[in-house]
Every structure is written in structure tokens, then in C-alpha cells.
């Protein structure tokens, strides 16, 4: 259902708007409109039938003025360089907004892992790392998992990198298994961070989370953990959820165990069986009478075509780029609080930063320590955004939370570039 848009043009449009509002130096703006480094690679992989298939891959570092590149690796049949460039840009702003010492990076390979066996995926993972080895490192660019990649794939990539350099280097990749230097709390960190943002935003809107109705689009890693944490930590009532095949709505709330059973049995949560439950489409989810909508799947699902139908008081962007620039403006004009993705879903990169620090120091923290530190950083980011929005309001400039977040993030990167003498 996602509207077909060029994600990199969208990222540039968001930057352009922020640059105009904040009066960004023209040279700094020109530097920040394009990635610093783009790597395109071809990866030959021996397949199960004995043939060799060549896969196309990418790795982009958008900006490293504030530190090494940081960003995930996606294995997806529709991966593109423009998507990777856009995601690397958003990672730049995400790391800057969180005020952690990273720039933004992203990687991807065009492939369909659903049609590949474990050996083929391992061979592809190792081949990708061999292809980009000269461009990554703990102080250069630090990859992590993303769409259709996971801790096991990171373990293969780490092993391949260490075989090539001839020594242990756990800080080169994050999102690894704990046994190989991964961090406690990393697996659910994106959703956990999002729930801390939900808590702070609910205070601002004077929403009682125990009486709050939530609809979630997406039943992957982020969506599933968001469902569980929203209920267990906040006491909220999740009344609707969808996946790529559709979904289910029940005004009295949904049961996670039954949802998981439906997904396992049929491949979709739409086959959920519960009293009073009714099937819905992904499009219908955004029109439900709920308090909070959490897009937790793909980009461009709330657009100018459906933004005027949203009835929720808040949109919590757990996915990357789920709301288009036009839709963001419509929601803002309608008084709906749209919490931007690079604040809401920054928990993943924040805990990746913790993992990197722990790997370098060789000293590892408990899960409770990780969550406490995550809460501190993401709450600080939340406050930075709304402090900036209030400052512009006092100057008679009405800006959305997204633009406030951009202004905070872009100004920090521009200041770092200025200090380095880049302009």
C-alpha cells in the first residue's frame, strides 16, 4: 500500500525545508544534500544448484563529521541505491539528534532471502563483507542488522571480517549475538525507545496510557515488541494490528499469544480468532477511532491521500519514513502530534552505540543498565526537540516536531563540519 516515492528526494526535501527555516549556511546545505561516500559492489555467490549468481550491493556513508558512519544492512529484493542514500541521511540526523558520536551510514543488497537457504545467505553475507572491507571498521563505518538481516548474519559478517584482518574486532559490527560481544537489551531496543517516547508524548497530551487505544501497523520485530511493551510497561490497550496481508481490529483489545498463533499457523495476523474481532486492511487501520497509531513496518504509508482520514491524537513513527512530507504537514495543521521516526526509533542505534562502547572497553553492562541509559538519552532527545519547537514558537515561527528535530540534528552536524574547516 506504500505510495511509490523516491526516498532520497524525500530526504532532501525534508533537509531543504529545515535549512530554510533555520537559515543554514548555503555551503553547509550543499554538503549535506549529498552523501560523502557511495560504494557499489558486485558479489558472486555459489548457489545450491552449483551455479554462481551475482548480487548487487551498496554501502553509503552520508556524513562522518561527528564520528564513524553507523547504520544497518538490508537484504531486500527491491533494495536500491536511492533507498540506501535516504536511510543513510536519516541515520545521520538520528545519531546527531541522540547526540551520540556517530555519523550516518547504510548498506543493502538486492536479494530475496525467502528464496535462499541458510548456506546461500551465509555465502552472500561473507561476500558482502569481503567486498566492502576497506570501507568499514570501528573508527570508519560500523554496520548493523536491518530489514531481513539478524544477529546470525552479523555473526557471519564479523567472522569474515576478523578472518581478513587477522585479529578480534568486535566493534566493527553491532547487533551481534551476546556471545560475540552483542549488548543485552539490543533486540527490543527500537521498540523500547519508542515506548519511552510514547510515555513522554502522552504526558504532554495528558493521555492516560492505561486508557489509551493503540493501533499498530506491522508485526515484525519492532511491531511485536511495541505490542508487548505498550501493554506490559504502559498498560495500554492495543486494539488493532496488521501485517503485509491485512490485519484485525477488536475494540476490547487483542491477545498477543493468539496473534502469534495466527501468524505462525497462517502467515498473517488477519486470521486471528477472538471474540468481537474483525478483519481490516492496512488502509483501514489508519482510519480507526484510536488514540495512537504506530506505523512499525514500511515507509510512505501515511501520505497526502490518507492523512486527512487519521483520527488518532498521535502518530508514533516506529518505522523509517512512514509519513511523507506532505502528510506530515497535513497532520500538523490538523493538530495531530506526529512524532518523527528519527526520534522514535532511535533506540536501536543508541543501544548499538552502547554495544560499540562495550566492545571497545571489553566491559559489558546488564540489561537494566542498558534500558536506564537508553531512557536517559532518548528522553533528553525528546526534550531537545520540544524545547526547540517552543523557541521557534516564541519567535512567531510555527514548526512541526519533525522540523524541530531536523533543526537540532542538522545544526549539530553543521557545527561539527564548521569546526573541522569543511566550509
Looking at the predicted structure, is the pLDDT value of residue 4 above 80? no
Confidence of residue 297 (pLDDT cuts 50, 70, 90): confident
Cβ atoms of residues 64 and 36 within 8 Å: yes
Write out pLDDT tens, residues 96-143. Answer: 999 999 999 999 999 999 999 999 999 999 999 999 999 999 999 999
Taking a C-beta distance cutoff of 8 angstroms, is the pair 366, 359 a contact? no
Of the three residues 299, 316, 344, the one that is the final residue of a domain is: 344
The C-alpha atoms of residue 317 and residue 194 are separated, in whole angstroms, by: 8
Which residue has 522514535 as its cell numbers? 344
Residues 75, 145: one domain? yes
Q: Look at residue 1 and tell me whether its pLDDT is greater than 50.
A: no
Distance in angstroms (rounded) separating the CA atoms of residues 322 and 139: 31
Q: Domain for residue 103, yes or no? A: yes
Choose the catalytic residue: 36, 70, 85, 106: 106
Q: 392 lies in a domain?
A: no
Among residues 320, 344, 368, the one where a domain terminates is 344
Give the residue from 340, 348, 297, 285 showing the smallest Cα distance to 316: 340
Residue 105 covered by a domain: yes
Closest CA to 145 of 113, 115, 106: 106
Domain boundary among 344, 377, 400: 344
The pTM assigned to this predicted structure is: 0.92
- In a 3-state reduction of DSSP, which class is residue 49? coil
65 and 162 belong to one structural domain? yes
pLDDT score at 320 = 83
Lowest average pLDDT, out of 60-64, 83-87, 229-233, 366-370, goes to 229-233
Among this protein's residues, is 106 annotated catalytic? Answer: yes
Domain count along the chain: 2
Output the pLDDT for position 321. 82
pLDDT of residue 386: 96
Residue 337 lies in a domain: yes
Neighbours of 212 (CB within 10 A): 22
Range of the domain at 203: 189-344
Q: Are 239 and 249 in contact (CB under 8 A)?
A: yes
Q: Are residues 194 and 323 in the same domain?
A: yes
Convert the pLDDT of each residue in 17-56 to its tens digit. 999 999 999 999 999 999 999 999 999 999 999 999 999 9
Query: Span 352-368, mean pLDDT?
Result: 97
Residue 161 to residue 14: CA distance in whole angstroms: 36
The per-residue DSSP string of 283-300 comes to HHHTTS--SEEEE-S-SS
**Number of neighbouring beta carbons within 10 Å of residue 125:** 25
Q: Name the band, by pLDDT with cuts 50, 70 and 90, for residue 275.
A: confident
Higher pLDDT, 275 or 149: 149
Of all residues in the chain, what percent carry a pLDDT higher than 90? Answer: 85
Quick check: is 389 in a domain?
no
68-88 tens-digit pLDDT: 999 999 999 999 999 999 999
Look up the CATH number of the domain holding residue 195: 3.40.50.720
Among the listed residues 284, 287, 332, 283, the one whose alpha carbon sits nearest the alpha carbon of residue 312: 287
| CATH number (domain holding residue 160) | 3.40.50.10860
Would 369 be classed as within a structural domain? no
**Nine cell digits for residue 144:** 548493523
199 and 73 within one domain = no
pLDDT for residue 187: 83
Residues 275-294, mean pLDDT to the nearest whole number: 92
Residue 24 lies in a domain: no
| Residue 423 located in a structural domain | no
pLDDT given at position 170: 97
Location of C-alpha cell 519508542: 194
Question: For the chain, what percent of residues have pLDDT higher than 70?
Answer: 99
Amino acid at each position: 500500500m506504500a505510495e511509490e516515492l523516491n526516498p532520497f528526494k524525500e530526504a532532501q526535501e525534508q533537509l531543504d525545508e529545515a535549512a530554510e527555516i533555520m537559515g543554514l549556511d548555503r555551503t553547509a546545505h550543499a554538503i549535506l544534500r549529498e552523501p560523502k561516500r557511495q560504494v557499489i559492489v558486485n558479489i558472486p555467490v555459489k548457489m545450491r544448484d552449483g551455479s554462481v549468481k551475482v548480487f548487487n550491493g551498496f554501502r553509503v556513508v552520508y556524513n562522518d563529521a561527528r564520528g564513524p558512519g553507523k547504520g544497518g544492512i538490508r537484504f531486500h529484493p527491491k533494495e536500491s541505491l536511492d533507498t540506501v542514500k535516504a536511510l543513510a541521511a536519516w541515520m545521520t540526523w538520528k545519531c546527531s539528534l541522540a547526540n551520540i558520536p556517530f555519523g550516518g551510514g547504510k548498506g543493502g543488497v538486492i536479494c530475496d532471502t525467502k528464496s535462499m537457504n541458510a548456506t546461500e545467505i551465509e555465502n552472500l553475507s561473507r561476500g558482502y563483507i569481503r567486498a566492502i572491507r576497506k570501507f568499514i571498521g570501528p573508527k570508519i563505518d560500523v554496520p548493523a542488522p536491518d530489514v531481513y538481516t539478524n544477529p546470525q548474519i552479523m555473526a557471519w559478517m564479523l567472522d569474515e571480517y576478523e578472518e581478513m584482518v587477522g585479529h578480534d574486532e568486535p566493534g566493527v559490527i553491532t547487533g551481534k549475538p551476546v556471545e560475540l560481544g552483542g549488548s543485552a537489551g539490543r533486540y527490543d531496543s527500537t521498540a523500547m525507545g519508542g515506548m519511552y517516547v510514547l510515555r513522554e508524548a502522552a504526558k504532554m497530551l495528558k493521555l492516560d496510557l492505561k486508557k489509551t487505544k493503540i493501533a499498530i501497523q506491522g508485526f515484525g520485530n519492532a511491531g511485536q515488541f511495541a505490542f508487548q511493551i505498550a501493554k506490559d510497561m504502559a498498560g495500554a490497550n492495543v486494539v488493532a494490528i496488521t501485517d503485509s496481508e491485512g490485519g484485525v481490529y477488536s475494540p476490547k483489545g487483542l491477545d498477543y499469544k493468539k496473534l502469534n498463533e495466527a501468524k505462525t499457523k497462517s502467515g498473517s495476523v488477519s486470521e486471528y480468532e477472538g471474540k468481537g474481532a474483525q478483519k481490516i486492511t492496512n488502509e483501514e487501520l489508519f482510519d480507526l477511532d484510536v488514540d495512537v497509531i504506530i506505523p512499525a513496518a514500511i515507509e510512505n504509508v501515511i501520505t497526502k491521500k490518507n492523512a486527512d482520514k487519521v483520527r488518532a491524537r498521535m502518530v508514533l513513527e516506529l518505522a523509517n519514513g512512514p509519513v511523507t512530507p506532505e502528510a506530515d504537514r497535513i497532520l500538523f495543521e490538523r493538530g495531530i502530534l506526529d512524532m518523527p521516526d528519527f526520534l522514535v526509533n532511535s533506540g536501536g542505534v543508541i543501544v548499538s552505540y552502547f554495544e560499540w562502547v562495550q566492545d571497545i572497553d571489553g566491559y559489558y553492562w546488564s540489561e537494566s543498565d542498558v534500558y536506564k541509559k537508553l531512557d536517559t538519552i532518548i528522553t533528553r532527545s525528546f526534550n531537545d526537540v520540544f524545547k526547540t519547537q517552543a523557541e521557534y514558537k516564541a519567535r512567531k515561527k510555527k514548526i512541526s516536531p519533525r522540523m524541530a528535530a531536523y533543526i537540532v540534528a542538522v545544526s549539530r552536524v553543521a557545527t561539527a563540519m564548521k569546526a573541522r574547516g569543511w566550509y
